[in-house]
Amino acid sequence: MGILLKWSAITQQEVIQLIELVNISKAYRSGSVSVEAIRNINLTVNKGEIFGIIGHSGAGKSTLLRCVNLLERPTTGSVKVGGAELTTLSPGQLQNQRRRIGMIFQHFNLLSLATVRENIAFPLRLAKLGKKEINHRVDELLQLVGLTDHADKYPSQLSGGQKQRVGIARALANNPDVLLCDEATSALDPQTTNSILALLVDINQKLGITILLITHEMHVIRSICDRVAVIDQGEVVEMGEVLKVFLKPEHAVTLDFVSQVADSFDPRELVGVRKGKLVRLNYVGDLTYEPILYNAVKATSIQFTILQGIVSRMKGTPYGQLVIELIGSGSEVDKVIAVLRGEGLDVGELT
Query: Judged by CB, which is closer to ligand ATP: 55, or 320?
Result: 55
Identity of the residue, 135 or 260, whose beta carbon is nearer to ligand ATP in the bound complex: 260
- Residue 55 or 285: the one with the smaller Cβ distance to ligand ATP is 55
Among 24, 48, 52, 55, binds ligand ATP (CB under 6 A): 55
What CA–CA distance (Å, rounded) separates 30 from 18?
Answer: 33
Cα-Cα-Cα-Cα dihedral of 134, 137, 165, 172, to 10°?
-90
Cα–Cα dist 288/275, whole Å: 27
Q: Mask: binding to ligand ATP, 176-195, rule CB under 6 A, as x and -? A: --------------------
Positions 1 through 40 that interact with ligand ATP (CB under 6 A): 28, 30, 35, 37
DSSP letters for 242-257: HHHHHHS--SHHHHHH
183 and 216 in contact (C-beta within 8 Å)?
A: yes
Number of residues lying near ligand ATP (CB under 6 A): 13
Site for ligand ATP in 308-347 (CB under 6 A): none
Q: Which is nearer to ligand ATP, 218 or 340 (CB)?
A: 218
Taking the least distance from each CB to ligand ATP, the nearer of 106 and 162 is 106
Nearer to ligand ATP, 116 or 231 (CB): 231
215 makes contact with ligand ATP (CB under 6 A): no
Buried b (16+ CB within 10 A) or exposed e, 300-335: bebebeebbeeeeebeebbbbbbbbbbbbeeebbeb
Half-sphere exposure of residue 128: CA atoms within 13 angstroms, side-chain side = 1
- Rounded to whole angstroms, the Cα distance separating 260 from 313 reads 17
Distance CA 260, CA 268 (A): 18
Which of the ranges 50-58, 82-90, 131-139, 271-279 carries the binding residues for ligand ATP, by CB under 6 A? Answer: 50-58
Among the listed residues 62, 119, 210, 321, the single contact to ligand ATP using CB under 6 A: 62
Q: Which residues contact 320 (CB under 8 A, 6 or more apart)?
A: 281, 282, 283, 288, 309, 310, 311, 312
Binding segment toward ligand ATP, per CB under 6 A, in 39-47, 59-67, 171-179, 268-276: 59-67
Report the nearest approach of ligand ATP to the CB of residue 314 (Å).
24
Q: Which helix (H) or strand (E) holds 105?
A: strand 101-105
State the minimum distance, in angstroms, from the CB of residue 188 to ligand ATP. Answer: 16
As measured in angstroms, the least distance from the Cβ of 179 to ligand ATP is: 18
Q: Which of 18, 19, 24, 59 binds ligand ATP (CB under 6 A)?
A: 59
**Which of the 8 DSSP states describes residue 12?**
-
- Contact positions vs ligand ATP (CB under 6 A): 28, 30, 35, 37, 55, 57-63, 216
